[in-house]
Structure 1
């Protein structure tokens, strides 16, 4: 077998393996789409995608109001009232904090950085009780604008994103900032006009991670949101599961599918920058 033939065979094998693995990974999502058109009995009758007796009862039930003055669309609106400001606040605070640690020297820097990194090892369940007591004293519990869920993002509380951006900043030559300083830029202007454009892939990665994590967050809204009319989609889907009357799984799956569509759209629109950001992060530590 010639060298060219071996290369073609190896390429075909790689693509075949990638296609098979890709289909295995994406099939649960494909199955969920088909299951929204099935009855309960058919859902548990097999793992096939195509429904034998298609029905729209799942979507009709999903559009009904459960829990008083809330439906799936109001729940999704509530979700993005939390997600959008939290993403913006996280990107701004994490970028500023990472810039400070990566580029400036100040007393206690190493100690503060060690404390910051140590918070990565704290499970959220350990923080729930003290945070709830503190936010309750602040009057943030069940706030109409979700203060308990949004305001902490202003203070770079998501340490993972700070650490990620610091790693990216180490790849940016300091000579660029020195050139900007010669041109009359102060630290803030250098950050805005030099650093942020070069950090765009990593900032998009941070924004996407926060977008997906916050959209899927269940424990935060469960703790800090008490009014059913303000529940996000993650809580609303759980509310729709009536254990006494039995689950209508096609309704639950239809609600889940409707609620994740915006996240899928955002991911596919930003996937190029996201992939660039992840790839760049592996170049240097």
Structure 2
């Protein structure tokens, strides 16, 4: 009888261990975000002296101060980020889909070799390419030009994101080739097969590419810092650095307030397309 009770207690503990562990891990992950949200309502002095989540004295004026802290409204920075992220999403979806179709369906010499080279570029850290890219774009006259976003967007039109190409290639390899053959028998050219067969079926992979492109571009800081020098052209991540000046003075309250607002588009975008994101990953051969 005692052994039976001990076994039941062990089973109960095992059932409770998993949810408790998940709750603990979730608390560890969410604590910095919740603390930042609470700090956005603290005065600069309280941010440095009060490490608790809730402020002793609420300062909602941080949001108004942060929004109009510079000569340019922070809304302008949001619009710049939205433009860069939106154009990057469109460029990646179009170029990577075309490149993936070539690797997955078309036959040409050294196809496997070029695909391996493309996959090999995933091993290169992005910061290694910053200097040669800057020199090349400077030669083209794109750096400091009338439209300084060209170095951030134009390369995406050339399918430079190998991860997205690989994602779509894996998805297209799961599409039965009998559909291609049936379309060819009906008189479709390779372009017709792409338009009428591959493109309609590639929606999950395109959604995954769009979501990752938007999130990564919106949160990108270093590349945008390198190429953007005009205050009116700044994006939200770069503009957040303006709250800390060269003399060491900082407006941490308004900075946290604008940081919270900067996270909102990414959070809402992810929540809105979360189901499609999971579906796209599961149907592209990347599931574990």
Q: TM-score normalized by structure 2?
A: 0.88
Q: CA deviation at 1:282?
A: 4.7
Q: Is the 8 A contact 1:177 1:194 kept in 2?
A: yes
Separation of aligned partners in 2, 1:7 and 1:175: 51
Change in CA separation of 1:12 and 1:75 when aligned onto 2, cut-off 3 Å: same
| Stretch moving more, 85-94 or 128-137 | 128-137
Q: CA deviation at 1:37?
A: 0.4
In structure 2, list runs of 5 or more residues that go unmatched.
none
| Stretch moving more, 129-138 or 17-26 | 17-26
Change in CA separation of 1:284 and 1:50 when aligned onto 2, cut-off 3 Å: closer
Matched, 1:31 2:31: no
Matched, 1:249 2:252: yes
Matched, 1:64 2:68: yes
Q: Is the 8 A contact 2:281 2:287 kept in 1?
A: no
Q: CA deviation at 1:8?
A: 7.8
- Equivalent residue in structure 1 for 2:79, among 77, 80, 88: 77
In structure 1, list runs of 5 or more residues that go unmatched.
none
- Equivalent residue in structure 1 for 2:23, among 19, 40, 65: 19
Q: Is the 8 A contact 1:143 1:225 kept in 2?
A: no
Matched, 1:50 2:54: yes
Where does residue 224 of structure 1 map in the other structure? Answer: 227
Matched, 1:41 2:45: yes
Separation of aligned partners in 2, 1:5 and 1:180: 62
Separation of aligned partners in 2, 1:60 and 1:228: 19
Where does residue 120 of structure 1 map in the other structure? Answer: 122
Separation of aligned partners in 2, 1:251 and 1:229: 19
List, as ranges, runs of 4+ consecutive aligned residues in structure 1 with deviation greater than 6 Å: 1-9
Where does residue 107 of structure 1 map in the other structure? Answer: 109
Change in CA separation of 1:117 and 1:182 when aligned onto 2, cut-off 3 Å: same
SS at 1:263 equivalent: helix
Change in CA separation of 1:13 and 1:144 when aligned onto 2, cut-off 3 Å: farther
Show the 5 A alignment for 1:1-285: 12-66=16-70, 68=71, 70-145=72-147, 146-244=149-247, 246-282=249-285
Q: TM-score normalized by structure 1?
A: 0.89
Separation of aligned partners in 2, 1:210 and 1:157: 12
Aligned residues: 283
Separation of aligned partners in 1, 2:48 and 2:281: 38
